A and B are shown apart, each in its own frame.
Chain A
Amino acid sequence: MKSLGSFRRKFAPWNDPEAKPFIAIENVTKKFADFTAVDDLSLNIYNREFFALLGASGCGKSTLLRMLAGFEEPTAGRIQIDGQDMRGIPPYKRPVNMMFQSYALFPHMTVEGNIAFGLKQDGMQKGDIEARVAEMLKLVKLERFAKRKPHQLSGGQRQRVALARAVAKRPKVLLLDEPLGALDKKLREETQFELMDLQMKLGLTFVVVTHDQEEAMTMADRIAVMDKGKVMQVATPAEVYEAPNSKFVADFIGNVNMFEGTTAAVGNGKIDIAVAPENLTIRTEASRSCTIGQPVGFAIRPEKIRISRKQPADSSINSAYGEMWDIAYFGDMTVFHVKLESGRIIKAASLNAVRTVEEPLGYDDMVWVNFDTDAGIVLTA
């Protein structure tokens, strides 16, 4: 069997102007009384894509998912799934199935009964239902638990039943609302890969709602970062992390050091940014066109900042001197908080590549932090 990566590397229909989106969300707005949950949102999701809607609670991601499922009707705008307009089509006639955050397993039915429920609604033959249920149980490795009721299962098993029930009808699209939210950390990590594997095996389009960025980054082909009912950025996990398009996205995804300054010089494909209180000069690749004197933001991830007791060769740019303020040891890496004279804390992370260091950086050390010109990103929005 080919590895997942071999498919994934080639998979990028969103860059293909010819590709037709499988789910087309066009200028969709959803209002509840005077609260706008989803605000003039447009989004294309492609066939066989693993798509994540990521955002804090109340950003409208669940409402969007519920509109795809048919539990809510858009106030304005249009949703098309596989070329079909979904307006006025009730949930029970849509080619999508949903896995609920609470799992919503029918408490009065066995595991088998739960999985068979959707198939019975389609009027499938009894023998076919049995075969499909057996296949689904095998898929989620729950053969031994077929006759159990939901309350006789552990959390992880319930999650699998919910998943099996949702994919049993072979929907074109599977909607997952916080699918791993109720599992503990270890189980969640395992299940992430199982979900990806399953999506690949069944060749379905997955739309997953999550507030957990690690989960979204691990599983999704593309992520839509949402805030206040709007999509802030749609991109692959690497793009969202390395090339956020706004301060909001940079700040929302991962850890970041954010500087506010004004452009002091532009040229040679580089931009100099003057950061006033620290009297810092940041020289960086001109990833965006700027004019001199323009207020800009600069974002840099902690792991892209070097930390050392030695003064860097050229300490006039991209360097700062400060006092070690806090050390957070995670095992695989350590995050240092360095306090500059101005009081600003800079976070610098370093990988613990060796087991023992002769003179480890300690509290009260005076240290230099510096970074390369291509380590951070200029943000104008």
Chain B
Amino acid sequence: MNTTWSRFNIVSLVLGFAFLYLPIVLLVVYSFNESRLVTVWAGFSTKWYVSLFNNQPFIDAAWVTIRVGLISATVATVLGTLGALAMTRYTRFRGRLLFSAMIYAPLVMPEVITGLSMLLLFVAIGFDRGIWTMVLAHITFSMCFVAVVVQSRLVTFDRSLEEAAMDLGATPVTTFFRITLPVILPAVVSGWMLAFTLSIDDLVISSFTSGPGATTLPMRIYSQVRLGVTPEINAACTILIAIVAVGVIIASIANKRREVQKARDEQAAARN
């Protein structure tokens, strides 16, 4: 492996990262701007954060976002996991190909179409739009992602674990909750986190399916920006970035630790 840094490598690395992160860095830096004008630096200040927490519509929108995220991610995880189980377990049922294609289709469906079709459905059946229609819509698109994540874990799942449990006297239900679920739990949790993340930053589908009084944070930010970007929005975005970044960092550290520990354990086991 080439370990020396050529000038070309350095330049391409710097350009690549700049392309990815410069906009975000700018956003974060300007959230600490004293000035009301977004593009003019007038000194360091945290006043926009203070004013953000006094901005009731923003706080309300944040709560709506979190509620929609929690409910939809949880329901989507249950449904997605069941779907993944059905797809990996009953490999020989008729129409399986159609079924799996139908689970994958929403992954590549343009959001506008998903949102519009949900809107038409809610109008047709006379379902008043609000937080619950939004929750339903979020479940619909995020359960497919959960199904894909969980399915990839189930493919490598050793079925003899379940057989062993049943052989030892566990009923199928006990087997699922005591053996299958604990073993695939990391995949189910990442499925949930993915669904939650997708839900909290969705704008298009939310816009189509929400009603009066149910505005999510992305919708609020978007509508504010149309009236002009304020440092307050920068502050809100910075907080969102911080939350996501901390989550990602914790998850990857925990993952890395587990792997290192497992490798160490296996080496120790091989020695004795």
Contact = CB atoms under 8 A, between A and B. Distances in A.
A and B, one complex?
Answer: yes
Q: How large is the interface on A (under 10, 10 to 19, 20 to 34, 35 or more residues)?
A: 20 to 34
9 contacts: A91-B166, A93-B169, A101-B160, A106-B165, A106-B183, A117-B170, A122-B169, A152-B266, A152-B268
7 interchain residue pairs of minimum CB distance = A118-B168, A121-B169, A104-B164, A104-B160, A91-B166, A152-B265, A108-B182
Contacts of B51: none
Contact of A98 (B167, B174, B178, B265): B167
Given A106-B179, A122-B169, A151-B262, A100 B269 contact: no
B128 interface: no
B269 A154 contact: yes
Interface in A66-104: 69-71, 90-93, 96-98, 100-102, 104
Interface string B154-182: 00001011011111111100100011001
Given A108-B183, A151-B262, A152-B269, A92 B170 contact: yes
Interface string B88-107: 00000000000000000000
B169 A169 contact: yes
B168 A165 contact: yes
Contacts of B246: none
A118 B165 CA distance: 8
Contact of B171 (A92, A102, A118, A149): A92
B159 to A, nearest CB: 9
Contacts of B164: 98, 100, 104, 106, 165
B167 A92 contact: yes
B262 A104 contact: no
Contacts of B169: 92-93, 118, 121-122, 169
Most chain A CB atoms below 10 A, which of B164, B165, B174, B182: B164
A104 B168 contact: no
Nearest to A118: B168
A12 interface: no
Most chain B CB atoms below 10 A, which of A96, A108, A165: A108
Given A117-B178, A152-B266, A169-B169, 17 more contacts: A69-B167, A70-B167, A92-B169, A92-B171, A98-B163, A102-B158, A104-B164, A106-B165, A117-B165, A117-B170, A121-B170, A121-B174, A149-B265, A151-B265, A152-B265, A152-B268, A165-B168
A153 interface: yes
Interface string A106-146: 11100000000110011000000000000000000000000
A91 B179 CA distance: 16
Nearest to A69: B167
Most chain A CB atoms below 10 A, which of B169, B178, B262, B266: B169
Given A91-B163, A100-B160, A104-B158, A117 B182 contact: no
B201 to A, nearest CB: 33
A168 B169 CA distance: 12
A90 B163 CA distance: 11
B272 interface: yes
Contacts of A169: 168-169
B188 to A, nearest CB: 13
Interface residues of B, number: 24
B189 to A, nearest CB: 14
B109 interface: no
B270 interface: yes
B267 to A, nearest CB: 10
Given A92-B167, A108-B182, A108-B183, A102 B265 contact: no
B161 A106 contact: yes
A268 to B, nearest CB: 57
B224 to A, nearest CB: 47
A121 B160 contact: no
A149 B160 CA distance: 18
Nearest to B271: A154
Interface string B10-46: 0000000000000000000000000000000000000
A93 B170 CA distance: 9
Interface in B135-167: 158, 160-161, 163-167
A149 B265 CA distance: 9
B68 to A, nearest CB: 32
Contacts of B183: 106-108
Nearest to B174: A121
B170 A90 contact: no
Contact of A104 (B161, B170, B268, B272): B161
A152 B265 CA distance: 5
B266 to A, nearest CB: 6
Nearest to B266: A151
A90 B170 CA distance: 10
Contacts of B262: 151
A335 B18 CA distance: 73
A104 B269 contact: no
B179 A102 contact: no
Nearest to A66: B163
A100 B168 CA distance: 12
A380 B169 CA distance: 48
Contacts of A165: 164, 168
A69 B166 CA distance: 10
A154 B179 contact: no
Nearest to B179: A106
A214 to B, nearest CB: 25
Contacts of A70: 167
A177 to B, nearest CB: 9
Nearest to B160: A104
Contacts of A104: 158, 160-161, 163-164
A167 to B, nearest CB: 11
Contacts of B163: 69, 71, 91, 98, 100, 104
A77 to B, nearest CB: 22
